[in-house]
């Protein structure tokens, strides 16, 4: 069954509001990656987190990896209409080699 869970499934925000999506794994991850998929497009790699408690920033995006390496979050500050899309977390389980297990994704819509 699904081993990487992601919430919320949908998020509607007004432009300028913040947005956060959360990812939880039932098992320890060797690393976690985040992808963005625009409507009609394909997933595009955003970032990878490897270390316990790691925090990385990309402009308005902040990514965190939990201390137990079982959860992660993506936070967008002051959303813009260009942020629209579905954000997926994808974990590499310690027992699954190079295979990625994707979360269900969070579909973000931004009202101008």
- Bridge partners of 91? 32, 101
Q: At its nearest, how many Å lie between another protein and the CB of residue 81? A: 20
Please, which residue, 33 or 72, has the CB nearer to another protein? 33
Given a contact cutoff of 8 angstroms between Cβ atoms, the answer to whether 52 and 83 are in contact is: no
Given a contact cutoff of 8 angstroms between Cβ atoms, the answer to whether 90 and 32 are in contact is: yes
User: Rounded to an integer, what distance in angstroms lies between the CA atom of residue 65 and that of residue 89?
Assistant: 11
Given a contact cutoff of 8 angstroms between Cβ atoms, the answer to whether 45 and 61 are in contact is: no
Please, which residue, 43 or 66, has the CB nearer to another protein? 43
User: Rounded to an integer, what distance in angstroms lies between the CA atom of residue 89 and that of residue 33?
Assistant: 6
Q: Which residues bind another protein (CB under 8 A)?
A: 33, 35, 41-48, 88, 90, 98-105, 107
Q: At its nearest, how many Å lie between another protein and the CB of residue 46? A: 8
Q: At its nearest, how many Å lie between another protein and the CB of residue 75? A: 19
Please, which residue, 40 or 112, has the CB nearer to another protein? 40
Q: At its nearest, how many Å lie between another protein and the CB of residue 42? A: 4
């Amino acid at each position: 069954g699904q081993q990487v869970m992601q919430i919320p499934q949908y998020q509607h925000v007004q432009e300028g509001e913040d947005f956060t999506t959360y990812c939880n794994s039932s098992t320890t991850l060797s690393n976690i990656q985040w992808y963005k998929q625009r409507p009609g497009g394909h997933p595009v790699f955003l970032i990878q987190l490897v270390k316990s408690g790691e925090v990385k920033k990309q402009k308005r995006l902040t990514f965190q990896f939990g201390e137990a390496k079982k959860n992660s979050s993506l936070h967008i500050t002051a959303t813009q209409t260009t942020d629209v899309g579905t954000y997926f977390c994808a974990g590499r389980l310690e027992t699954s080699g190079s295979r990625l297990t994707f979360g269900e994704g969070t579909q973000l819509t931004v009202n101008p």
